[in-house]
Amino acid sequence: MREAHAHLFQLGRSLTMLDCSGCQSREAMLDSIEAFCQRLKPSDWVLAHSVRPEGWADPRWPSRQELDHASDNRPACAWCFDYHSMGASSSALAHAGISGDTTIDRGIIELDNDGTPTGVLFEHAALKLWSSVPEPDATQRRSHVLSACLHLSKLGFTEVHDLKSQPWLGQVLHDLQTAGEITQRFQLFPLTKDLDATISTRDQWESDKLVLAGTKIFTDGSLNSRTAWMLEPYTDTHTTGTPMMTAQEIDDAMLKSKAHDLPVAAHAIGDAAVRAVLDSIERTQCTNMNARIEHAELIHPGDIARFVELGVIVSVQPCHLLPDIEALNTGLGDRLDRVLPLRSLIESGCIPGKTLIFGSDVPIVRADHQDSIQAAVHRRRNGMPDSEAIGLNQRLTRDESLACFGVN
C-alpha cells in the first residue's frame, strides 16, 4: 500500500511523547500529564499530542495554570490532534517569549479578561512556541525517522510520501536504506522555503527508491481550530477562517516549484482555500504537472470538475472525517454536502489510485488504512447509525477505497 500523506520525523517524535487521544475530558488529560511527568527528568519538557477538546462534553482547553500544576511547573505544551493549536504552561510561554503584548502574524494568542495569555495558541503562535522546544540531535533524528518507517511498514505501507520534508531527511532516509534498515520507497515534499537547501544535497541521496517529488505549502488552517478557510462563515463563529497565504504568495510558490519542474502539494482544507489553489494553478499555468491539493475536506460543487480540467491530483485523508464529525456538525452543518465529495470527484473523472489518492496525515491521526476505509465507505464512526453519517451519497466501495491506497 501507499501512504500518500505522512510526516515521518514528526511521527517518530510523537512516539516518544504523551498520546492524549484516549483522554475524554480536560481532567483526564491533566491526570495523564501528571502521571507522564513521573517518568521524566526534572529538566525535561512535557510534550503531548492528540488532544481533542471538540470531543469533550466541556470543550475547553486546560488553562496554563492547570498545566502548571499538572506538569509540576515544567515547560509543557500539548498539541491539538490537528497540530494547528496547542495548550502551553506558563514556563513554556515564558521560554518562547510569548506574553499578552506579543503579536504574531497569522497566529492567535488567546487572552483572558485581564489581557494575560490563557495558554491556548493557534496557528503561527503555536508554531512559535514549538520552535522554542529543544530540537532532537542528529542521532535522535535518525532514531525517530527509523521508528516511523518501521511503524508504517508494520501497517503494510511499502511507499510513503512525506509532506513537509526537512532538508536533512533525504540523507537520513538514504543512509537507512543503504544500511538495509528500511525497504520502503519514498517521495519527499519539502516546504517551498526549504527547496533550495534540499536541492543542494539532492545528488547525495536521490535514487529510484527515494525522490524529491515536489514542494509543500500551507494555504489555510484546520476545522477544529476554525482556521480552515471557507467561502462562507462558520455557523458557530461567524468567521471564514484564516488564509495562511495571499494569492500572490501562492503564485510565487507555484512558479518557484515550476522553475525546478516540480509540482506543488498544497494544504487546503476549506473550500475557499481549495478554490484559491485551483485559481493559482490556472493563473500560473501549472496545469498537468501533477500538482496536488492535500486534504480538500470541503470542495464547492462548482470546483469539482476543475481538478480533472487542470490536471490536479486530489490527495485526501478520509480518516479525518472520523474525529472531525463534531466540528463539521457544529461549524458547517449547513453545507455538509461539500464534505469529502469523493463520489462526485470520481464521476467528474478522477481515477482512484492515480488522480484520487488516500493518506492519513500521520501523526495527526493514526496511519491505519482501515480508518480511511471506514470513513470513505460508511461516512461515520463505527457504531454510529446511518442517520449520523456525513454525506452518505458520497460514499465509495471498499475496492475503490483500497485502489486509492494504490492496491490493485
pLDDT in tens, 158-171: 999 999 999 999 99
Alpha-carbon distance of 395 to 241, in angstroms, equals 27
Q: What is the pLDDT of residues 243-263, one digit of tens each?
A: 999 999 999 999 999 999 999
**Where do the DSSP E strands lie in 203-361?**
210-212, 215-218, 264-268, 292-295, 313-316, 356-358
User: Topology of domain 16-131, per CATH?
Assistant: Diaminopimelate Epimerase; Chain A, domain 1 (3.10.310)
CATH 3.20.20.140 location in the chain: 2-10+139-404
Pairing of strands 117-123, 107-111: antiparallel
HSE, CB side, 13 Å, CA atoms: give it for residue 172.
Answer: 22
- Residues near 38 by beta carbon (within 8 Å), at least 6 away in sequence: none
3-state secondary structure of 130: helix
For residues 149 and 184, is the Cβ–Cβ distance under 8 A? yes
> What is the pLDDT, as a whole number, of residue 228?
96
pLDDT tier at 394, thresholds 50, 70, 90? very high
For residues 220 and 246, is the Cβ–Cβ distance under 8 A? no
Closest by Cα among 327, 317, 314, 323 to 362: 317
For residues 125 and 98, is the Cβ–Cβ distance under 8 A? yes
> What is the pLDDT, as a whole number, of residue 106?
87
Terminal C-alpha separation, the chain: 9
CATH 3.10.310.70 location in the chain: 16-131
Alpha-carbon distance of 55 to 41, in angstroms, equals 32
Mean pLDDT for 137-163 is: 98
> 2-10+139-404 architecture in CATH?
Alpha-Beta Barrel (3.20)
pLDDT tier at 181, thresholds 50, 70, 90? very high
> What is the pLDDT, as a whole number, of residue 81?
84
For residues 16 and 371, is the Cβ–Cβ distance under 8 A? no
> What is the pLDDT, as a whole number, of residue 4?
98
